[in-house]
Amino acid sequence: MTPDALEGALRRPFAEPANDRVLDAAREAFEDVGIQRTTMRDIARRAGLGRATVYRRYPDRDAVVAAVLMREVRVFLTWLDERIDHIEDPAEQIAECFVAVVTGLRGHSLLNRLLTLEPAAALPALTVDAGAVLAVARGYLAAKLREHQQAGRLRSFDPEPAAEVFVRLAHSMLLSPPGCIPADDDAWSRAFARTHLVPVVTG
Amino acid sequence: MTPDALEGALRRPFAEPANDRVLDAAREAFEDVGIQRTTMRDIARRAGLGRATVYRRYPDRDAVVAAVLMREVRVFLTWLDERIDHIEDPAEQIAECFVAVVTGLRGHSLLNRLLTLEPAAALPALTVDAGAVLAVARGYLAAKLREHQQAGRLRSFDPEPAAEVFVRLAHSMLLSPPGCIPADDDAWSRAFARTHLVPVVTG
């Protein structure tokens, strides 16, 4: 994904108000009663739209789940970018990115709630069907790496697969939180990232 | 996990033939008809055991699924170890380990079949409930890193969180196969691992 395409992907949801109304309504319903107990009718009612209007935009509830997830990823990347975009040093940026991602995943109430209460309903969109959202996240990080390369702060390599290593680490940490990488110790996360993650692109 | 504990974990399933009969029967049933259409009665019948015997060992089907998965991981690690244990150079071992894992995950018929046909039934054990299997895999890799450290081939660091980076990369690649890391090009995988993964522990 080029930086321009990424920029477009990050902005797109905010450019279509009716879609956003559907996704806001769906997100609220998923938080209130979960995915499985939310029907397309519920989503339409909460959005103040006719059912036909909702179905024209999303053929079924799985499509709504996928769209809500994609928007969450975009919002998350926008939130992340505010925290790390100003950092010029690649090592420092990667360390702060890791701290922010660990903190952000831990604090994501909708995702954590769905993973706890409705894993069977939420997991396909987050795993076997997550190709598109992982690609958006990878594109975001690859664009950052590419900027560093163009500025001569990182040597030349294909930034996409390197970015994928970071995205997949975060992906697994979201899906299976317990591990020996603590989620609530920023100083530890920062030191860990500098020792073991920064070398993925500098080593 | 200490190397001895790991050794025990790898050997344990083979030391309890009745459990193994249950797990063999369950695995066969999952491959034939999937998890959701397999009952505890089916498993008992295929195993040639009474239902009470099966229930004494595993309280419900979820417990059988978890045990089958744990045994698959142990068998996979034994298979992996045959491929990489003789390699003394840490960089070469990590590169060959990555090649073997990519190949092994791609070729794992049961896991891939369940992820394709029954994601909702198979995914909880592979994600939110995968803490124990991820810990076994991490323990295996950490033991390898520790051996290199003790032999002076790697500098000193806590090998567990470093091993977790590798395990989580493989975990995400299993759960969401499409990505820009190709699954069928050993030479590419080897070069990629040397450039971007070996530095996780040497950088």
| Residues A203, B105, A177, B85, CA torsion sign | negative
Cα–Cα distance measured from residue A147 to residue A4, given in angstroms and rounded to the nearest whole number: 13
Q: How far apart are CA A6 and CA A146, in angstroms?
A: 13
pLDDT score of B12 more than 70: no
Whether the predicted pLDDT of A97 surpasses 60:
yes
Q: What is the mean pLDDT of residues B89-118?
A: 93
Mean pLDDT of B7-23: 65
Confidence check: pLDDT of A99 > 60: yes
pLDDT, averaged across chain B? 91
Pairwise CA distance, residues A101 & A97, whole Å: 6
**Tell me, what amino acid is at B201?**
V
Distance (Å, rounded) from C-alpha A95 to C-alpha A7? 23
High-pLDDT (> 90) share of chain A, %: 79
Closest CA to B57 of B111, B10, B17: B17
Q: The complex's ipTM?
A: 0.89
Best CA proximity match to B201, nearest among B135, B139, B136, B157:
B157
How confident is the model over B65-77, as pLDDT tens digits? 999 999 999 999 9
Residue A158 has pLDDT above 80, yes or no: yes
**Interchain pair B175, A127: CB under 8 A:** yes
Handedness of CA B59, B62, B68, B73 (dihedral sign): negative
Query: What pLDDT, on the 0 to 100 scale, is given for residue A3?
Result: 44
Please, what sign has the CA dihedral across residues B74, B78, B83, B88? positive
The amino acid occupying position A129 is: D
Cβ contact A175–B175 (<8 Å)? yes
Q: What is the pLDDT of residue B3?
A: 44
pLDDT tens digits for range B124-149: 999 999 999 999 999 999 999 999 99
A150 C-beta neighbours (distance < 10 Å), count: 10
The token pair at B35 is: 């998890």
Instruction: Tell me phi and psi for residue A155, to 5 degrees.
Output: -70, 175
Average pLDDT over residues A140-161: 98
The token duo for B57 is 């060992």
More confident residue, A203 or A171: A171
Structure tokens at B64: 């059988």
Determine what percent of chain B is predicted with pLDDT higher than 70.
Answer: 92
pLDDT beyond 90 at A200: yes
Interface contacts (A, B; CB < 8 Å): 138
C-alpha to C-alpha distances, B133 to A28, A72, A176, B119, B137, nearest whole angstrom: 34, 29, 11, 18, 6
Q: Mean pLDDT in chain A?
A: 91
Confidence (pLDDT) at B16:
63
Residue B176 CA: distances (Å) to CA of A26, A128, A133, B95, B144: 24, 5, 11, 21, 27
Tens of pLDDT, residues B21-70 = 999 999 999 999 999 999 999 999 999 999 999 999 999 999 999 999 99
How many helices (H) and strands (E) would you count in chain A?
12, 0
- Terminal alpha carbon distance of chain A: 24
- Alpha-carbon distance of B121 to A48, in angstroms, equals 34
Of the pLDDT bands very low, low, confident and very high (cuts 50, 70, 90), residue B177 is confident
Q: Select from A36, A101, A127 the residue whose CB has the most chain B CBs within 10 Å, as the one to mutate to test that interface.
A: A127
pLDDT for the residue numbered A16 = 63
Band (pLDDT 50/70/90 cuts) for residue A142 is very high
Q: What is the mean predicted confidence (pLDDT) over A107-135?
A: 91
Q: What is the CATH number of domain A3-202?
A: 1.10.357.10
What does the block give as tokens for A148?
């560093």
**Segment A154-183 mean pLDDT:** 95
Chain B residues with beta carbon closer than 8 angstroms to that of A171:
168, 172, 175-176
What are the strands, taking DSSP E only, across A112-191? none
Chosen for mutation from A113, A160, A175, A192 (greatest number of chain B CBs closer than 10 Å) is A175
> Which among A166, A147, A38, A139 is positioned nearest to B168, based on CA atoms?
A166
Q: Cα(B63)–Cα(B55) distance, rounded to whole angstroms?
A: 10
Distance from CA of B110 to the nearest CA of A (A): 15
- Mark yes or no for CB contact A197/B165 under 8 Å: yes
Structure confidence by residue, pLDDT tens digits, A4-41: 444 444 544 444 677 889 999 999 999 999 999 999 99
Enter the DSSP assignment of B194. Answer: I
Q: Could you tell me if B122 and B36 are in contact, meaning their C-beta atoms sit under 8 angstroms apart?
A: no
Q: What is the mean pLDDT of residues B105-114?
A: 89
Give the domain B61-202 fold.
Answer: Tetracycline Repressor; domain 2 (1.10.357)
Residue A50: what residue type?
G
Report helix, strand and coil shares of chain B as percent, to nearest 5. 75, 0, 25
Using left for φ > 0, alpha for ψ between -120 and 50, and beta otherwise, residue B154 falls in beta
Q: Which of A126-130, A198-202, B10-14, B188-192 has the lowest mean pLDDT?
A: B10-14
